[in-house]
Amino acid sequence: MLIRRRKPWDLPESEVTDYKVYKNRRQFLNTSITAGLALAAAPSIGLGKPVDELQVYKDLKPSPFSTDEEKTTFEAITTYNNFYEFGTGKEDPSLYATEFPDESQIWKVEIDGECDNPGVYEYDDLVKPFTMEERIYRMRCVEGWSMVIPWIGFPLAELLKRAKPNSKAKYVEFTTLYDPEQMPGQNRDVLEWPYVEGLRMDEAMNPLTMISVGLYGKELLGQNGAPLRLVVPWKYGFKSIKSVVRIRFVEEMPQTAWMKANANEYGFYSNVNPNVNHPRWSQRRERRIGEFLKRDTLMFNGYGDYVAELYSGMDLKRYF
């Protein structure tokens, strides 16, 4: 008899912590802390860096890509997260990323591979040439929940053009920082570390795709992927890789972290598609964080006018 052993990532949708349950648990913990209880057990409860200490972005350029839907609250966006480098629980990133990234660390990103202008860039050199804009994007998680997030950043295409990719560059591969001391979740074999993601070249150059450095007018917190993260709003959230330290132009399709973990459930493209179910649950409906009722999932997360032509003629059930 073949016995299937559950992998660490094999959570059915029914076992994913519902936001209301999660929020009640956090409220209890925070109340306990306020009352002087559980201080030793939960010293890191909170948003990490105090909000009033976060860098504020002024004179932001408005984006024509923004939705006018109601935004998810800052509290929810910064405390209900998937970031396995800090743990698999929704509250883990906001608990364990409080000191991330280390302020003494000079953040650098290596850009290399099939390009004519490779280099290693410090954060300021990477970001300062670009005008920051606010883009209010729908973001959809494969687990069935969604948010509307006011990201701050700049088009990925503008950064990639600086590297001058050559004719062999068919895909772009992204890599997250590997530092188990700062990212305790990397001490577990939930995924193959460091986390790797990828886009086809035309997806990476699409004007919707952005590098985010902040949200809600302020700099990113660690739990949201500080200091640099990718945002690809028509794909499931795990494609929007966090805390990027390397961008590489490659000729062959990258083997991403979730493909290596379970290629039958997490394909390379990972477009939001209500017609292609996750093997263990439907993707036809989603629950917006802060709402009680579910809503229909939109093809390409509602961004079909911008991206549908990228997949013209493709069998999206095969290339999921």
Asked if the structure places residue 2 within a domain, the reply is no
Indicate if the pLDDT at residue 46 is higher than 80: no
Pick the more confident residue, 3 or 92.
92
pLDDT in tens, 217-241: 999 999 999 999 999 999 999 999 9
Closest CA to 186 of 49, 105, 268, 85: 85
pLDDT at 20: 60
pLDDT at 9: 45
Pick the more confident residue, 51 or 147.
147
pLDDT at 44: 33
Beta strands in the chain (DSSP E): 61-62, 108-113, 119-122, 133-140, 145-155, 171-176, 196-200, 210-215, 218-219, 229-231, 244-250, 285-288, 295-296
Beta strands in 218-294 (DSSP E): 218-219, 229-231, 244-250, 285-288
Pick the more confident residue, 16 or 85.
85
Asked if the structure places residue 318 within a domain, the reply is no
What is the amino acid identity at position 203?
A: E
Q: How does the average pLDDT of the chain come out, rounded?
A: 89
Stretch 131-139: mean pLDDT, rounded?
97
pLDDT in tens, 147-192: 999 999 999 999 999 999 999 999 999 999 999 999 999 999 999 9
Indicate if the pLDDT at residue 10 is higher than 60: no
Asked if the structure places residue 256 within a domain, the reply is yes
Contact call for residues 148 and 289 (beta carbons, < 8 A): no
Indicate if the pLDDT at residue 273 is higher than 70: yes
Contact call for residues 246 and 108 (beta carbons, < 8 A): no
- % of the chain residues with pLDDT over 70: 85
CATH classification of the domain holding 61: 3.90.420.10
Domain that holds residue 301: 13-311
pLDDT in tens, 11-27: 544 445 666 665 665 55
Structural domain count of the chain = 1
Pick the more confident residue, 3 or 67.
67
Indicate if the pLDDT at residue 6 is higher than 70: no
Indicate if the pLDDT at residue 34 is higher than 50: no
3-state secondary structure of 176: strand
Asked if the structure places residue 189 within a domain, the reply is yes
